[in-house]
Amino acid sequence: NEVDILIVGGGAGGTSAGIQAARMGTKVQIIEATPWLGGMLTSAGVSAIDGNHEMPSGIWGEFRQKLRDHYGGAEALATGWVSHTLFEPAIGNKFLQEMADVPNLEIAFNAVYTDFKKDGDGWLVTYKQKGKTYTSKAKILVDATEIGELLPLVGADFRLGMDSKTDTEEKEAPDEANSIVQDLTYVLILEDVGSKKGRKGLVKKPSDYDPKAYECACKREDGEMFGGVSNCEQMLNYGKLPNNKYMMNWPNCGNDFYLNWPELAPEQRQEKLKEAKQFTQGFVYYIQNELGFKNLRVADEFPTKDNFPMIPYDREARRIKGKTFLTVDHLERPYDFNLYRTGVAVGDYPIDHHHDKNPDAPEIDFINIKVPSYNVPLGSLVSEKVENFIVAEKNISVSNIVNGATRLQPVVLGIGQAAGALAATSILADKKPSEVSIRKVQKALVENNAYLMPFYDVKSDDKGFAAMQRIGATGILKGVGIPYKWANQTWFYPEHIVSEYEWKQGLLPYYPELEKVHSSGAGITLKFMNDAIQIIGEHRPNSSILNKWMRFYNLPDFEKAESLSRRKVSIITDDILNPFDIPIDFKGNLVGN
């Protein structure tokens, strides 16, 4: 079997990558170990979306719309208080499979990889499916596994566990690095069956059951971020799903479980995961027996004998060493660096880590590291060392701390979509992913209503959405970031007036000849723009800038002295000057301008 792009893992990132790359006309194969698509969204049962409620970027927005259409609108999905979007895992899988039913995309379900070999510039991948062995030949390999399984197998350098201050220069990081990863969770879906008799759905008491492990589950003190839980019903309603189902993924004396998987071989990991399952079974036994909720029974949600999800919810993976390395400083102060210009996925969830079940984890108050909404740079998906190899899940090049924000489902859907756009752009341009035009990848994403910049107040149905995303990604007009509880924000303020000074300063890196233009704090007008664009046109006589401008400027409908909004300035600047087409490198620096 010969394909352009082979994706290992049909989770949130892998599915999204496959859909995007196939839509762009490249031949794609996904190898997925389970019979479902969606990974943590579905196969792990974490069907309560964290974050990006106001930024329905690209494929995430399409998926959410399918859920809204199915259940009957946005309010029908707001069943639990942890999220605005909750759904049944089986329904999520159904819709992802529908979305993935596109030309050029082939999916091998229940397929497990066994070998990887370099094949010239490409790859030969061997996998087993239904007892038979198959080999696929691909130009580009994508690791979309839940824990970055391919990184050591293909020789990619990676980070794992907590980074040290010296490695990341983050003041919040521990002094010494360690291999501690976040707690994982084996989720279970319960269903309210009312007063139904019988034992179906009641769990057995685990052999090592200890009720003390769960006794504070219904008592959570008030906290600035989380809020208090005053009773057990409120705890259960945390992850209430449509159709009277409940997602049991509770951090406080619930079913989080520490598994030191970095130190374990794959077979040992599988053995230890049985303990994680038992711990969740103990939690459900506690709910049904100690708390008395015998009406809540284990739902027949997954195609498994024990009705557990097919995989655990892993919050952390091996993280590749990429062309760029995203740290807390970049999130806190994006405009102090140029990485934001290379953004391909967005997130607004705070930095949230789960370490309660490991007493050896250093005390870091992750949730109180304040950041605005942010974007993920394209270079975080590209291996520093291994060519034609891309990552598309929680395995991107970010610090351990930042992973607490980038690991969430909508961000990973965006990362996957970006990986698909990168891989397809690479194939179509006949270049390695490390050599492609970053702006071409970003253009493909914007064409699919994906966000490059995390602008809270610029919606994809805005007539200026694409222009404001592109101008935002040049830095000519900047956003204002605000850390805000569980939904951080960056505001673009499309209706606000732009000053002459702000526009000129934004353009200077792209058009240094504007230094001689006098600007003030007054609102920008077409007359002021005319003066600046005349100078740019004189310095670039072979460009079409002046011709385009004069056709626009001479239109009779315009009031030349009107002060212009950020939306209008974005649309005009994008259309006439097209600064987004000036190439940038993986650090966001201008190339050969």
With 90 as the cut, is the pLDDT of residue 305 above it?
yes
How many degrees, rounded to 5, is the angle at CA 217 between CA 214 and CA 220?
145
DSSP label at residue 570: H
Residues 6+ positions from 525 with CB-CB distance below 8 Å: 560, 561, 562, 563, 564
pLDDT attached to residue 434: 98
User: Number of helices and strands (H, E) in the chain?
Assistant: 16, 19
Contact 5, 29 (CB under 8 A): yes
d(CA 520, CA 197): 77
Q: Which residue type is seen at 175?
A: D
Phi, psi of 445 (to 5 degrees): -70, -45
Summarize pLDDT for 241-282 with one digit per residue, the tens.
999 999 999 998 999 999 999 889 989 999 999 999 999 999
Summarize pLDDT for 164-201 with one digit per residue, the tens.
999 999 999 999 999 999 999 999 999 999 987 889 99
With 90 as the cut, is the pLDDT of residue 4 above it?
yes
Contact 356, 183 (CB under 8 A): yes
Tokens of 588: 């966001």
- Alpha carbon dihedral 429, 434, 437, 439, in 10-degree steps, equals 130
d(CA 51, CA 374): 12
- Mean pLDDT in residue range 365-384: 96
pLDDT attached to residue 220: 59
pLDDT attached to residue 554: 87
pLDDT attached to residue 578: 95
With 90 as the cut, is the pLDDT of residue 336 above it?
yes
Tokens of 370: 């304040």
Q: How sure is the predictor about 230, in pLDDT bands with cuts at 50, 70 and 90?
A: low
d(CA 578, CA 495): 21
pLDDT attached to residue 197: 80
Summarize pLDDT for 21-36 with one digit per residue, the tens.
999 999 999 999 999 9
d(CA 526, CA 408): 43
Residues 6+ positions from 551 with CB-CB distance below 8 Å: none
Strand, helix or coil at 516? helix
Give the residues across from 326 on adjacent strands. Answer: 398
pLDDT attached to residue 558: 67
Query: What distance, in Å, lies between the first and last C-alpha atoms of the chain?
Result: 43
Q: How sure is the predictor about 593, in pLDDT bands with cuts at 50, 70 and 90?
A: low
d(CA 105, CA 115): 22
Percent residues over pLDDT 70 in the chain: 98
Q: How sure is the predictor about 224, in pLDDT bands with cuts at 50, 70 and 90?
A: very low
Q: Which residue type is seen at 11?
A: G
Summarize pLDDT for 395-430 with one digit per residue, the tens.
999 999 999 999 999 999 999 999 999 999 999 999
Residue 257 host element (H or E):
strand 256-257
d(CA 75, CA 97): 24
Q: How many CB atoms lie within 10 A of CB 355?
A: 20
Q: What is the pTM of this model?
A: 0.97
pLDDT attached to residue 227: 47
Contact 250, 283 (CB under 8 A): yes
Contact 432, 426 (CB under 8 A): yes
d(CA 16, CA 418): 8
d(CA 217, CA 234): 11
Tokens of 455: 């602008």
Contact 4, 27 (CB under 8 A): yes
d(CA 320, CA 304): 32
Contact 145, 39 (CB under 8 A): no
Contact 327, 170 (CB under 8 A): yes
With 60 as the cut, is the pLDDT of residue 223 above it?
no
What is the full DSSP assignment across 109-120? TTEEEEEEEEET
Give the chain's length. Answer: 593
Contact 450, 417 (CB under 8 A): yes
Summarize pLDDT for 86-142 with one digit per residue, the tens.
999 999 999 999 999 999 999 999 999 999 999 999 999 999 999 999 999 999 999
Instruction: Provide the mean pLDDT of the chain.
Output: 95
Q: Which residue type is seen at 341?
A: R
Task: Tell how far CA 293 is from the center of its chain.
Answer: 36
With 70 as the cut, is the pLDDT of residue 325 above it?
yes
- Mean pLDDT in residue range 443-471: 97
Strand, helix or coil at 399? coil
